[in-house]
Structure 1
Amino acid sequence: MSVLEVCVDDPEGLATAIEGGADRIELCAALALGGLTPSPGLLAAARSAPVPVYVMIRPRAGDFVFAAAEINAMIAEIDHVRALGFAGVVLGASRPDGRLDTGTLAALCGRARGLGTTLHRAFDLVPDFAEAIELAVALGFERILTAGGAENVDKGLKALTDITRLAGNRISIMPGSGVTVTNAPELIARLGVRELHASGSRRRAADGGPAGALGFELPGRKITDADTIRALKSAMIAAQ
């Protein structure tokens, strides 16, 4: 049975993703920045979701090399997510050379014990996929979200083939970034994966109003689209 995880960053997107048939939600703020820890209000809106919700734990935009104060904030966010009863968390931390930060991830995963855990695209920065997979397995991650070290899954397809082979049945590999109705069947058939990650979105033209003129809105902001999610889910089912 294939699983479609949809990433959302606002209450409307959350409701739309569920309406469209998402099997799991990745809950974030600021998807345009790769996803940050969601606000208390968005967390409250997601508590009653009828599908599992995994919450992004990322205190700021930019790289994944975190200072001690940031790690402490992430630990507090994990505690808050646990107290609210969510299914899991999405984590990642890097060393300056791009390798996964073993110590930080061990502390975060230890704090998240009992929750589901996804290793996010900090994985795509590593110089050695095999080493990173072994660490993810040892830390008990359920899955790795990855585009094969590339900007999107189409560009990273060859690497994704190697990554899924290295992972075997020990950890789920979940391709994400640029997953569409067009490429989803090939990803499932070629890689043998059971999970895909997508925004299920369409671009909304900026309205050119005062908010955009003052820099409060990004041009062509993406919004979650139920029809896109339905089509993607149908393509995944057909490819099984």
Structure 2
Amino acid sequence: MRILLEVCVDSPQGLAAAIKGGADRIELCSALDVGGLTPSPGLMVLAAQAPIPVYAMIRPRAGSFVFDGDDEKTVMADIHAVRAAGLAGVVIGANRPDMTLDLPLLQRLMERAEGLGVTLHRAFDLTPDPNAALEQAVDLGVERILTSGLAVNSSEGLDILKRLVRQASGRVSIMPGGGVNLATVERVVTETGASEIHSSCRRLVENEDERASAFGFQPPRSYATDAGIVKEMRVFLDRLSK
């Protein structure tokens, strides 16, 4: 069984690198340094030309996934923009103040996303009862859950990830993400039995334009999706698939 590789990107250059490296699917974002926000309409239109499926992150701001009425109006419009651009799907998530899944809001988002693919993002990792949240996700009808096993990264959440894959039993895909890289992916795949993996496949970039950094237009150091890392990850996953 082929293990699918989803790569998250937040720029036109990252999109091109992920495709060149052999990603199977794209999670399209802005601002990956804060976990990913909704991408711009222009980036969505560009990504719609990709030869692989593209799912857009639907997250209106940094911070928690507890959303108010204005947040909801924003994300509803963003889902409409995803559909208008012609992308394959959306990545959504929402919590109540007690960190359980906000099922009424998620159901409304599912209705707005009808006909699009849907991934439930790491709002899942904040829930107090992952087993109950998984069953709720199945009832919502999402395709997959992006999760680190309720830990900061997937390597620390392997036991829960393994249990989630077993509990899901093919009803929904459990896609490990968060700290999945060339050094950790083998353990994540072999110990969980996951059939999809989510990774940024990014490299550290030293920004040499000191003037731009001084003005606050860019940080001194940042990260960029690397086609070579994507290719290495794809080759590695192909070996694990055999």
- TM superposition score category, shorter chain reference: over 0.9
How many Å separate the matches in 2 of 1:111 and 1:93? 15
User: 1:16 — aligned with what?
Assistant: 17
Matched, 1:134 2:135: yes
Identity %: 51
Unaligned runs of 5+ in 1: none
Matched, 1:4 2:11: no
User: 2:206 — aligned with what?
Assistant: 205
| Count of aligned positions | 240
In the superposition, the TM-score normalised over structure 2's length comes to: 0.96
How many Å separate the matches in 2 of 1:207 and 1:151? 31
User: 1:147 — aligned with what?
Assistant: 148
How many Å separate the matches in 1 of 2:24 and 2:85? 20
Unaligned runs of 5+ in 2: none
How many Å separate the matches in 2 of 1:72 and 1:12? 30
Deviations 1:150-197 (A, max 9, x none): 111111112211221221211000000111122222222221111000
Corresponding letter in the other structure for 1:67: D
1:161-200 alignment, distance < 5 Å = 161-200=162-201
Corresponding letter in the other structure for 2:178: S
How many Å separate the matches in 2 of 1:70 and 1:170? 30
How many Å separate the matches in 2 of 1:200 and 1:126? 27
Tell me the C-alpha RMSD between the 2 structures. 1.1
Shift of 1:208: 5.7
**Which one is further off, 58-67 or 205-214?**
205-214
User: 1:91 — aligned with what?
Assistant: 92
**Which one is further off, 185-194 or 223-232?**
185-194
User: 1:29 — aligned with what?
Assistant: 30
User: 2:49 — aligned with what?
Assistant: 48
Q: Describe the SS at the equivalent of 2:104.
A: helix
**Which one is further off, 73-82 or 137-146?**
73-82
